[in-house]
Amino acid sequence: MDIFERMKNGEEIDMRNDTEYMGEAFIEMQRSSKLCFKANHTEPYSEEIRTILDELFENRLPKNSYITPPFQIDRAKNIEIGENVFINHSLDCMSSGGIIIEDNVMIGPEVALMTANHNLKNLNILKSVKICV
């Protein structure tokens, strides 16, 4: 089971000592952050935005679904978006536990979807949950 499945299954992850987290999960966070930055600095509704969204979601975003910049997504690999979804500006996702946005969902501006939390006795321990919207 890879780090992404481990997080989706709610396994507690020590962010300082888990080599998969420090490797694969951190690399995905960097990749997603860079693509969000690029999208957020591109003219809205342009063809270039769609190209960036396709790269961000690894060609899994349906052609009839759209996310309006600006947005911040920490791990796009852990997000599934259905058909006919519209997400307005300023979406903020911490998706380590996985996020599923089902068909025909509309999300308003300035929404945060968070699937990660920390162990209150040890803040270096990350515990995630999966959500479905």
Q: Is the pLDDT of residue 28 over 90?
A: yes
Average pLDDT over residues 5-31: 95
Question: Which residues make Cβ contacts (< 8 Å) with residue 75, sequence separation at least 6?
Answer: 4, 25, 28, 29, 32, 95, 96
| CA 101 from centre of chain | 11
Average pLDDT over residues 85-108: 97
Q: Please report the domains of the chain, with CATH numbers, ordered by start residue.
A: 3-132 (2.160.10.10)
Strands ordered across the beta sheet of 116-119 = 13-14, 122-128, 116-119
Torsion-angle region of residue 68: left (phi > 0), alpha (psi -120 to 50) or beta? beta
Average pLDDT over residues 107-121: 94
Q: Look at residues 130, 101, 111, 114 and name the one whose alpha carbon lies nearest to residue 5.
A: 130
Mean pLDDT of the chain: 95
Q: How would you classify the pairing of strands 99-101 and 13-14?
A: unpaired
Average pLDDT over residues 91-102: 96
pLDDT at residue number 41: 98
* pLDDT tens, position by position, 39-69: 999 998 899 999 999 999 999 999 999 999 9
Question: Which residues make Cβ contacts (< 8 Å) with residue 34, sequence separation at least 6?
Answer: none
- Where residue 128 falls among pLDDT bands split at 50, 70, 90? very high
Q: Is the pLDDT of residue 119 over 90?
A: no
pLDDT at residue number 45: 84
Cis (ω within 30 of 0) for the bond into 62?
A: no
